[in-house]
Amino acid sequence: MNAITLIARDELRLMRRNRVTVIAFALLTLLTLAAALISWSHQTGIAETRARFQAQAAQEFTAQPDRHPHRMVHFGNFIFRPLPPLAAFDPGVDAFTGNSMFLEGHRQNSANFGDVRQSSLLVRFGQLTPAFVLQVIAPLLLVFLGYGAVARERERGTLRQMLVQGVSARALLLGKLLALAIVAALVGLPALAAFLLIAGQPGALAGPMAVMVLGYGAYLALWSIIVILVSALVRRGRDALLALLALWTVLVILLPRVAPDIAAQTHMLPTRLETDIAIQQDLHRLGDAHNPEDPFFTAFRQKVLRHYGVDRIEDLPVNYNGLLAVEGEKLTSRLFDDYARRSFTVQQAQSRLTDGFGIISPAIALRRLSMAAAGTDLEGHRRFLAQAEAYRYAMVQQLNQLQADTVRYADDKAKDAGADQRKRISADHWQTIPQFRFKPATTGDLVKASLPGLGLLLAWLAFALLALLPVARILQKARA
């Protein structure tokens, strides 16, 4: 048996004998397991609720009576964002974004009823999930278990003894590191249980899960190295503990809060009110459907008349109002897409700026990796919003086309007592409109999105490993 494993074994025996260490370790294991179970049951509960609401909304839509198609455009449809399976491990921004959306004609509504607006202030204290435990609390346990690893030997004078007896400083550091890394692996073990629960879910993807295991593994290994490095560099155990606590506070608690604040002040988002008004102004500039002399809509009318080879809209084989509705929706929808893209560009810039802080805080890098792989980051929300808008557009246009094809123009214009009945079309049509199906991200999308975070973490890890060399040299000199 070589020196490294001997030292590691010795260190582990010492940890096992320390009652506080064992209790802290047991508590963290319990906490991770509790977090995994709570988070898992929470997510399955959410998934069930949303699926139930989605079914209810679909049922209500198809159960509508005979109507004018335009009434259905305004009746609209509700859709709900389903959760990816890995949300049980890292729910990401789910609680902070609305998860239901009302889709109707002419308007783009916000996603509503996010958890954050219907929970107590406690939601801002963080959520008990495996991701939270591993990102925030596990490093602290490693600090507690490892701060004295080298500093203790130095304080007791055993460090010099070992070095004199021919144990190299490098072997000493690696041995201590091995011991702490084994503890770190054990700390991560209960989280793997969460993964096993999730892997059984339909739609669980192996690729992102592998990236996550790799990322969290690198993160815990990194903290083990940081702890050993500080323990070797600082003269006294107490100073090592205080320095590590300070480091943890800055990297895990402080920077993740400061970074978003800087991002929010650097890249400002326009409010919904401003966007709504801007869209209205743009629309007005394009054309005014209410104005019979409007150049845009006059040109449109001419084009339609020419297409069908008639002189009056009354002679068209289709309902002109329906065509007008299709054209109008096309215009507004293009603007919606345009403004949504602008808003997301700003938000992406904000997120990128925050991610940049991953260079100085591995916790930020890991959070990015974790949310991206789980599909619960901003991009995941955008995926939902983009599909929602595409679905809204298709649904509204299908209804508008129904108006053009099945409601007679003369009836549409009529105002007599029986007109209301003549304008209505059969409720069977509502069945032909497909219901919303969320297309989840592919393995490739998720893995690709999580690579920058993983790259940053691995760079951190490589850097920390390299730092062991000069520190070993310094330690070796301490013999003299």
In the region spanning residues 82 to 101, those forming contacts with another protein, defined by CB under 8 A, are 92-93, 96-98, 100
Residue 101 phi/psi, 5-degree rounding, is -140, 140
Q: State the DSSP code for 425.
A: B
> Contact between 67 and another protein (CB under 8 A)?
yes
CA-to-CA separations, 76 to 81, 173, 473, in angstroms, rounded: 17, 65, 70
Write down the least CB distance from residue 115 to another protein, Å: 8
Beta partners for 181?
Answer: none
455 interacts with another protein by CB under 8 A: no
Torsion 126-130-131-135 (CA) sign: positive
Angle at which helices 320-356 and 362-374 cross, to 10°: 150
Among 1, 2, 17, 120, binds another protein (CB under 8 A): 120
Residue whose CB is less far from another protein, 123 or 390: 123
Residue type, 352: R
The answer to whether 113 contacts another protein (rule: CB under 8 A) is: yes
Which CB atom, from 39 or from 400, has the smaller least distance to another protein? Answer: 39
Regarding 371 and contact with another protein (CB under 8 A), the answer is yes
Comparing CA positions, the residue from 9, 372, 37 lying closest to residue 190 is: 37
Q: Buried b vs exposed e over 214-243: b needs ≥16 C-beta within 10 Å?
A: bbbbbbbbbbbbbbbbbbbbbeebeebbeb
Smallest gap from residue 308 Cβ to another protein (A):
29
What is the nearest approach in angstroms of another protein to the Cβ of residue 5? Answer: 27
Q: Out of 224, 231, 275, 403, point to the residue binding another protein (CB under 8 A).
A: 275
Q: Which residues, numbered 7-66, are part of the site for another protein (CB under 8 A)?
A: 20, 24, 31, 38, 42, 49, 53, 56-57, 60, 64-65
Q: Is 292 in the site for another protein (CB under 8 A)?
A: no
- Binding another protein (rule: CB under 8 A), the pick from 132, 216, 300, 436 is 132
Q: What is the largest CA-CA distance in the chain?
A: 107
Indicate whether 263 belongs to the interface with another protein (CB under 8 A). yes
Query: Which among 363, 386, 367 has a CA at the least distance from the CA of 441?
Result: 386
Number of residues near another protein (by CB under 8 A): 95
Site residues (CB under 8 A) for another protein, limited to 178-217: none
